[in-house]
Structure 1
């Protein structure tokens, strides 16, 4: 996930150089070529079923594939994806509306608003790295993934939502309000890492990449709705501040609701056992049909 930040740092000056030396057309061409090269590398190194590990639901390449509806409707997958969806909702609001919030509501000048936004977004680095490290340490101690990944993610999303609501309803000091919003909006971003880890853990090896892609595709739809809804709140409010606050309240409420769902439903160990049973059932049915055909 930190590669996203690194990519922004690297691509910024490189693309500026390309635009200045050649044109903006060349910059788009460079991105297109880089994407095609990466696609070819990913197709080779990240092909379905190439990565397996001890204890995987599907250890052999010829294991039956499960219907995707069975995988998508799994309780762990759905609860996990909902928290990811909420995080993407907040993430998209951060990058589309928080800069203007800094200037129009917090009344920072352009330079200070830029610095404040940089600090606002930088909170995710220690949160994501630290949270991932804690999760890994908990797993190594033998703690179940339900707690080391599921509950840890849910609790950070829950605390994030509480801090957002606290900033809206209980804090008037501009700097403290921004700090609480920054921490509240960044705590849920642990899902960008642990959500994928949970999906990778529970899914059959041959369908793991597909389900990780589906997880991301469903979750990122939050980014389609959130910025437009925030804009509608701002446009319909008597003051911009009230519109922003309404949008932040929705984000905080979503965090609390989806985190409680996560605490109640995420159980990677149970989902792995369920998928293993389904695979064995389908394998048994296939073998029965094969014997019946041979007998005839």
Structure 2
């Protein structure tokens, strides 16, 4: 008997295979996007000693430089959130990365405190919505129940970036100058823009359980209502304290290793990579672990709430511990754990946002989340700079600052624990969408 082939099935299978390959190509490009994003952030910390010497500034002024990156970060996050869904991802992400490149150019030729601050402010504005834009874009390629791993891979670019950049940029700084390091980053950013314009775009996957479906009644739930859910409030708290940790890791960790602990420049370039390596590993492992929990029927409250909260909690305990220890291998292990565990659950927690927030509102809500947690990036570098400047020794100032950070992480995790519950809040939002008599509350 002759076997009949259905050309429609073959065509559909081929289309799905191409879509699958394209989806993972986009994941790779967005991972590179986050990689360059964080490499841009860490370059000032790596060049800190030379930069302070050449500009004739003190530790508190260096804290201002690092804090300035976040001055318009929140504004950029909100602007980016508004533009998401209105401007195609191909043009929006390429435009943001192009502004990164423009912000780096003046620092290549100028050694001025004012120019450096202006450049960092512009860079912060353009990088503000980066995480939300990358997350929103990758979510358009995968159904809700399969987003944890690709989201974590994209977010892991934030850890891989400094992991690659720290030794490379340190070598450039040592052998050439800190200006040359900015030139290397400008070239990398320009190359990514070209690649994204050629290969990157949005996907068509905006449906799939357990998240809200595109076009359903929850699409019209006001943003203010979504922001009042326990899950979003808990994520705001969790991300705020975690971002204080990220900001100090990016802005002060190289200086802490060199001034506070006495490592030389070459050792700092190598040791600075370890927290980012830990972050990249924990991000991917957290995504895999969360996905396994979901497949085994574990609730979203545990898989996407309690799990990332626990990572932040233990990050705080590790930070408190290493701040009170002398230099050595054990302290370095705790530094890596403290600096990376808090970031490990970010991809998973961002997935919880998509569980609760309808696709139409997702970009705006993610932009607001980034805007709120970025305030930690403004405050944390300034506080640590002031503590270092006022302390009897730099080491004492760093110890006080990192102890405060550890306590903040522990407290933030405990506050978030009863709040984050995606399943509960999704049901509440659905109930609100069916109710027309209560335009601002979530449920009666």
Query: Does the TM-score normalized on the shorter chain lie above 0.5?
Result: yes
- Cα shift at 1:183: 0.7
Higher relative CO (CA 8 A, sep ≥ 6), structure 1 or 2?
1
Q: 2:372 aligns with which of 218, 221, 231?
A: 218
For residues 220 and 39 of structure 1, what CA distance do their matches in structure 2 show?
28
2:410 matches 1:253: no
The correspondence of residues 124-273 of structure 1 with structure 2, limited to 5 A, is: 124-169=279-324, 171-273=325-427
Question: Is the 2:356–2:426 Cα contact (8 Å) retained in structure 1?
Answer: yes
Question: Is the 1:106–1:174 Cα contact (8 Å) retained in structure 2?
Answer: no
Query: In structure 1, what is the equivalent of residue 268 of structure 2?
Result: 113
* 1:54–1:180 distance in 2 versus 1, CA, 3 Å: closer
* 1:116–1:79 distance in 2 versus 1, CA, 3 Å: same
Q: Which moved more, 1:113-122 or 1:151-160?
A: 113-122
Query: In structure 2, what is the equivalent of residue 45 of structure 1?
Result: 202
For residues 258 and 165 of structure 1, what CA distance do their matches in structure 2 show?
14
For residues 27 and 161 of structure 1, what CA distance do their matches in structure 2 show?
32
* 1:35–1:281 distance in 2 versus 1, CA, 3 Å: farther
Q: Unaligned stretches of 5+ in structure 1?
A: 17-23, 286-296
* CA offsets 1:222-258 (integer angstroms, 9 cap, x no match): 1121111110111111111111111101211111111
- Cα shift at 1:69: 1.3
* 1:284–1:117 distance in 2 versus 1, CA, 3 Å: closer
Query: In structure 1, what is the equivalent of residue 232 of structure 2?
Result: 77
* 1:54–1:150 distance in 2 versus 1, CA, 3 Å: closer
- Cα shift at 1:276: 0.5
Q: Unaligned stretches of 5+ in structure 2?
A: 1-154, 173-181, 440-444
* 1:241–1:280 distance in 2 versus 1, CA, 3 Å: same
Q: Please, what is the CA RMSD of the aligned residues?
A: 3.0
* CA offsets 1:53-96 (integer angstroms, 9 cap, x no match): 13433452565512211111211101112111111111111121
TM-score normalised by L of structure 1: 0.80
- Cα shift at 1:220: 2.0
- Cα shift at 1:36: 9.4
TM-score normalised by L of structure 2: 0.55
Question: Is the 1:64–1:282 Cα contact (8 Å) retained in structure 2?
Answer: no
Give 3-state SS (helix, strand or coil) of 1:227's partner. helix
For residues 221 and 198 of structure 2, what CA distance do their matches in structure 1 show?
27
For residues 74 and 83 of structure 1, what CA distance do their matches in structure 2 show?
14
